[in-house]
Structure 1
Amino acid sequence: MARNRQHDADASQLAVAAAAQRKTNLLVWLKQQLNNNPFLPPQTNQILTVTASDGVAVSPGQIQHCYRTAHQYRQLPRSDPRHIQWRKKLAAGLTAFYQAQNGIPAQLWDLPDGYSLMVEKEYNYGRSMGAELLFLYGHPLGIDKRFGSTETFLPHLRWIVAGMSPGACICRSCTQYYTGVEPK
């Protein structure tokens, strides 16, 4: 009888230890998933959030109608590696400009409201004609004022973060609008 109790106690301790190990393994796995999830802020990066915006949301259909081309447009999801890369480059540009603290790499949590990264693909008679191009839409001056790279959007993003004083933006589209002269 005593031997059975001892055996039951040992089995119970083994079951508790196995459950604790499974719990530890699950926590390690969850932590890895959270660190790799593009929808959650990474644990090792400084997260930047832009709360101000002058963006005007546009749909792929509006772009198609504006340009009247055989190209097709679709919005790039936040989880796409190219979208993540854009946000990292923009965050690096902001942190370099504003002297971010601690030298911690930064990531932009999301684009300002009203701005969306679109993929443009050219089609001719139903056949794909080339590579996918990325453009950022949402400039308040219209659909034709799109940004083709992070470098062209960064001056406008800095202006948004700095408080959007009228006429002070040095991006190509704003400069052309306010001065009538296209920058070089």
Structure 2
Amino acid sequence: MTTPADVKDVFASLAGHRVTAQDMADILETSRNTVNLRLKNGLVAEDVIAISRGLNINPVEALVELDKLTRNEVFGFLDGGAKLLATASPEELVYRLAEDTLSNADKIELGGAARALLERDDLAARRAGAPVSDAHGSLHDDDDGVVREFDYEPGEYAADSSPNEQEEREKRGEDLID
């Protein structure tokens, strides 16, 4: 079991300056006598975290140094797929927050709204002539994404194989239709 002096030494070492029972009492918003009693009985993890944050030190380091966590537990957590907040992208943070806080109905609604945004983006891309991906994110095989000029000569292309009605009317001497 660590002594009150040991606990103060750990916090002082991590903070880089002397830490007194009064400093801890101020952070925990309690009396110095209460802090001394807690130090004597052993600080609970919640107090270690609060004091660490109040001293601007990493609470995980203090929890390890004060034998509330082992280094193997910390590294096992990180190796298990956990990601530090400092290294997570904003998208990962938002996703995790949504995953942890939204009901299933809200997740479904959010997914529908996201899908609608993607469809709107695809429509805008089509209007701009940009390549558009299919539902799987790939371009269609016959679409290389390049927009080419179309050289059109009247009468050269037709939607079907029927004769040009305008030319046929002119041959028969009929009134032309606009």
TM-score by length of 2: 0.19
Which one has the largest radius of gyration?
A: 2
Higher RCO (CA 8 Å, separation ≥ 6 residues): 1
Larger fraction in helix? 2
